[in-house]
Structures are given as structure tokens and as C-alpha cells.
Structure 1
Amino acid sequence: MGLVSRLRARELGAFLRARRTLLTPDEVGLPVTGARRTPGLRREEIARLAGVSDGYYVRLEQGRAMHPSASVLGALAGALRLSQPEREHLFALAGESCPAPEPEELTEGSRRMLELLRPPTAAYVINRNSDVLAWNDTAGALFGHLVDGPRRPNNVRYVFTDPEAKRLFVDWPHIAADSVAHLRASSGHRPDDAELTELVTELHEVSPDFRRLWTARELRQKDDGRKELRHPRVGRLTLDYAVLAAPGAAGQRLVAYSADPDSDSHAALVRLWSKGN
């Protein structure tokens, strides 16, 4: 390891140590056990939160670990609750490029895509974690969880925690497996995403089906397909869907549902849309 690399590694270790001492167990959801001689979290606690071994994290703080990967840096940034400037500093110390932050809210490009779709097409915009950021009237009438509930709707949470989902999706097991495989594929882009970690932890606790599917580690990304629905207001529908990446919005996708214009399913979509207008 050259002089510059040693200096970078030493400074990276000092930065990790300084940030670790600023956190408390309560802030990261850890129980407080035993007396603490020094402020902040213990090394093994950060290691556990970041998903690395205790020994490797100790070497990082001591400046003895060479070239931590971008995924490890991202996990450490998430465990330490770093701000974007702090995250960029951590990556710079390791000689890595820091990924640009993904938009947390609906972008203008996503909004325009949604508005361009003609009724009665049902459409919504989701992010990598399957949070639904926006939807049109038909989608709101088609999927009740979009308009009900006190917090931002999430499609994976809906599939595994709302009894209505099992009644709505004719092939619920396939929908459930697909939703987890999509979420697992997305998790590789942001392994340090605190909101994703919270969602996975929540669903692990309440759904044995989710636990089983998440542990299987299947990955799947679909651009189109077909779903069979059993809607309480309009009956059986067969809908084709397409998934499009939103321009200028990393991680945001528009999902649009439609049916053949001469089909009963299209007529059902028209009825759903007209009742909301």
C-alpha cells in the first residue's frame, strides 16, 4: 500500500470512528445493553448494521483494510446515517465514485408520463422500494390501497399484509413471488437504503410467506405481462401491463394497465374510470 493509500485508509478509519461515536442505540433501533465506557455505538454494532464482519470493520477503523467496495461503503453510510455530503466524503476517502441520490418524490418527468396516458388506462408511478408516488383516477379505483390508509402506499406491503390483495389477485402466489423478486432485484442498487431495510424487517415479522420468498433470493425484472383480477365492483378483469422507466428519475417507473378495446375488461375499466370523474 503506497503512502497516499495509507493516508486515505487512515483518514477513512478516523472518519468512521468519529461518526460512530455520534450515534446512540436508540437512533438505530438497537437495545441498550450494559454500561458504555465511551459515547456512541460499539464497533460490533456498526458491523452488524452494515452486514460486515466485526474483524473487517475493526481493520477499517484501524486503517488496515484496503479498498472497501462500493457496496460496503454504501452499507456503512446507511448504518452510520450519513448525510449526502458525508456519504460523498466517505466514498472519496476510499477512492470510489459515490452514486447520485435517487429522487424521493415524484419527478416532473414521471408526472408528465402519467398525464399523457389516455383514460381508461390505469397507471401509477413507483420507486425502487415499490412505494407508489402518484396514480391516476382509474388506478385509484382499481387498487383500493392507493387511496386508503394513513401513509404512502406500498405495493409489496399491500400484497402481504392486506387481505383484500388475496381476493383481488386471482393468482396471488405468483403475484407475491413476483413482488418479492422485484424488490430483491432493486435492493442490489441501494443495499444501504434505510427505508428498504425497515420495509423488509416489517414484512419479515408479519408474513411467513414474505420470509420464505425473501430468503429464496430470486431476482426478477419484468417489462410487461398480464394479470387476472377479481374486482369487488366490476368483477373479473384480464389486464395487460407495461413497465416504463421514467426519464431523468433513477429508480422511478411507470406501470400502466390496459385491456383490448373490444373486451369486457376494457368496459370494466371504463366503468371504474367514469365513476371517479
Structure 2
Amino acid sequence: MTGTTLDTPNDPHRLLGQFLRARREAVAADALLGEGRGRRRTPGLRREEVAQRAGISTTWYTWLEQGRDVALSADALARLAEGLGLSAAERTYLFELARRRDPSPHMMEDTGTADELLRAVAAQPMPAYLLDRHWRRRTWNAPAAKLFAAWRESGEDNLLRFVFLDPAARELIIDWEDRAQRVVAEFRADTALYPDDAMLAEQVDVLRRASPPFERYWNAQGVLAREGGRRTFNHPQLGQVAYTQVTLVPAGHIDFKLVLLLPEASTPNS
């Protein structure tokens, strides 16, 4: 019931209240001085100041810190995160405690390709490549470039465009139709993470117009996590080769996917 206080130590409302109070009190004194308030005896922001920043009533914010069962919208939580200057990890934690979906989950993430990711891909002994949120190849290592020579020669950095618009993909990928259908379902799952990304929406529209198979699979409304598993290819030099795909999301770079292809025993080292 709204306004009630729950006493369970691990109750998410209590944990949320403790977290908000800690972050409010941890706001740097320098930030407060910049607002012209001068030095003061109590640490951090006052409750009414946080409430004002978030556009909610002081009473509601006080109830939140007290661990009461207060229903707060995702937009109000986002304003709280901004008002408290939360980091990306802290913002994610806030929304998890509140059992709400962040309306802008990636707004605080670095969209560039960090040097450590480039070096991590280059250091892998097996074929490895890095995809961004649009499924563009940001980098790959020498084994991947050799395995995917057809992709390299196409001049196309986007994996989806290569799979659906380049005939060479059908020759390279064994069981192309099954793989293509699963790729679309995996990509659809990704698009839900970026509802306001105009480039993603345009990418879908272009592929639907240019590729009847993509249009058909997209309309099927299939949704899959990027599960990995066995991948087989017809390589012009290596013949038929098989790998186990493992996809990782690097910590601190959630807009990227690191794809590793682990050779099976019968597959020569690429």
C-alpha cells in the first residue's frame, strides 16, 4: 500500500531508500558551492533540493528515503538519477531497485570504441570481431578477416547488410535461411534496448525494403537472445569449417558485442 513502511532488511524499497540517502549525502561539496550555497554543516544535498531537481514533492522523496512503498514513474527516476549525478552503474542499480525500466539506459555510456576493446580483439588466437549497437563491425583480428574474406571483400561493415544483401553470404554461411532468421530475431531483441535510436529504425526500414527475406523474418516477430552455439561455413580455401560461437558484452561498454569463434577439433586453425 502506498505510504507504508516495510521492515524486511532486503526489501527493495528499503534498499532504494538507503541508496538514495547515501548518494544524496555524497554529493560533492564543490558542486554545492558552484550553486552559490556556500559551505554548510550537513553533507550533500537536502531532501527538498533533490526533490526540486527531480520535479517531485519533498514528501514523496522523503517517503522514498524512508523505504516506503511509493510508486514512482521511470521518468521521475531518471530525473532523480540526473539530479544526483549518478554514474552509469549507479543509474542502472537505481532502476533495478525500483523495478522500473530506464527510458534512456545507454545515455551515459561511451559510444566510442575503447582502445582496450581493440587490443582485446587483436589478442585473441581464434577468429574474433567487435560489433556496435547497429551491428557494424568496429574491428576484427587476422583469423576473422581470413575466415570472413567474403565479408571483407564486400566493403560492407554492417553484418546484417552483408548477410541479407550480399549473395556471397549465402555461399559462406551453411544453413543460411536458419541462421538469417535467427540473426533477425537477435537483432529485434537489441532494438528494444534503443527505442529512440533513429539510425536503428532507418536501418530496419532499409533492410525491409531491400531484402524480402529480412522483411519476412522481421514480420514474424521472432525474438531471441544472442545465444551463440555451433556455426558452420563453406570457406573457399579451408573447406567446411565449424566453430562454437561465444558472444560477450564487455563491462562498461554495453553497446558492444565481442564475438569469439572457438574452432572445433576438426577445424584447422584459421
TM-score, structure 2 normalization: 0.58
2:124 paired with 1:117: yes
SS of equivalent residue, structure 2 residue 183: helix
Q: Which residue of 2 aligns with 1:164?
A: 168
C-alpha deviation, 1:150, in angstroms: 4.9
Q: Which residue of 2 aligns with 1:206?
A: 210
Tell me the percent identity. Answer: 29
Amino acid at match of 1:191: P
CA contact (8 A) 2:151 2:162 kept: no
Look at both structures and tell me which one has the larger radius of gyration over its CA atoms.
Answer: 2
Against the structure 1 CA distance between its residues 150 and 170, is the aligned structure 2 distance closer, same or farther, given a 3 Å change threshold? Answer: closer
SS of equivalent residue, structure 1 residue 209: helix
SS of equivalent residue, structure 2 residue 222: coil
Query: How does 1:31-46 map onto structure 2 within 5 Å?
Result: none
C-alpha deviation, 1:146, in angstroms: 4.5
Query: How does 1:123-138 map onto structure 2 within 5 Å?
Result: 123-138=128-143
Against the structure 1 CA distance between its residues 208 and 69, is the aligned structure 2 distance closer, same or farther, given a 3 Å change threshold? Answer: farther
Q: Which residue of 2 aligns with 1:187?
A: 191
Against the structure 1 CA distance between its residues 199 and 101, is the aligned structure 2 distance closer, same or farther, given a 3 Å change threshold? Answer: farther
2:217 paired with 1:217: no
2:244 paired with 1:240: yes
Provide Cα deviations, 1:201-238, integer angstroms capped at 9, x if missing partner: 11111111101111111111134201111111211111
Aligned partners of 1:112, 1:247: CA distance in 2, in Å?
15
Aligned partners of 2:73, 2:221: CA distance in 1, in Å?
24
- Length, aligned pairs only: 176
Q: Alpha carbon RMSD of aligned pairs, Å?
A: 2.6
Amino acid at match of 1:234: L
CA contact (8 A) 2:163 2:170 kept: yes
Residue 260 (structure 2) aligned to one of 253, 256, 261: 256
Against the structure 1 CA distance between its residues 216 and 68, is the aligned structure 2 distance closer, same or farther, given a 3 Å change threshold? Answer: farther
C-alpha deviation, 1:148, in angstroms: 3.0
Aligned partners of 2:216, 2:152: CA distance in 1, in Å?
29
C-alpha deviation, 1:69, in angstroms: 6.9
2:155 paired with 1:142: no
Q: Which residue of 2 aligns with 1:176?
A: 180
Aligned partners of 2:154, 2:168: CA distance in 1, in Å?
13
CA contact (8 A) 1:105 1:133 kept: no
Q: Which residue of 1 aligns with 2:112?
A: 105
C-alpha deviation, 1:145, in angstroms: 4.9
C-alpha deviation, 1:97, in angstroms: 6.5
Amino acid at match of 1:203: L
Provide Cα deviations, 1:51-85, integer angstroms capped at 9, x if missing partner: xxxxxxxxxxxxxxxx9976xx9xxxxxxxxxxxx
Q: Which residue of 1 aligns with 2:15?
A: none
Q: Which residue of 1 aligns with 2:61?
A: none
Amino acid at match of 2:164: F
What residue ranges of structure 2 are gaps of 5+ in the alignment? 1-50, 56-71, 79-101
Against the structure 1 CA distance between its residues 138 and 162, is the aligned structure 2 distance closer, same or farther, given a 3 Å change threshold? Answer: same
What residue ranges of structure 1 are gaps of 5+ in the alignment? 9-66, 74-95, 271-277
Aligned partners of 2:154, 2:169: CA distance in 1, in Å?
14
Answer 1 or 2: higher relative contact order, Cα 8 Å, separation at least 6.
1
Moved over 4 A (4+): 67-70
CA contact (8 A) 1:223 1:244 kept: no
Aligned partners of 2:240, 2:212: CA distance in 1, in Å?
28
TM-score, structure 1 normalization: 0.57
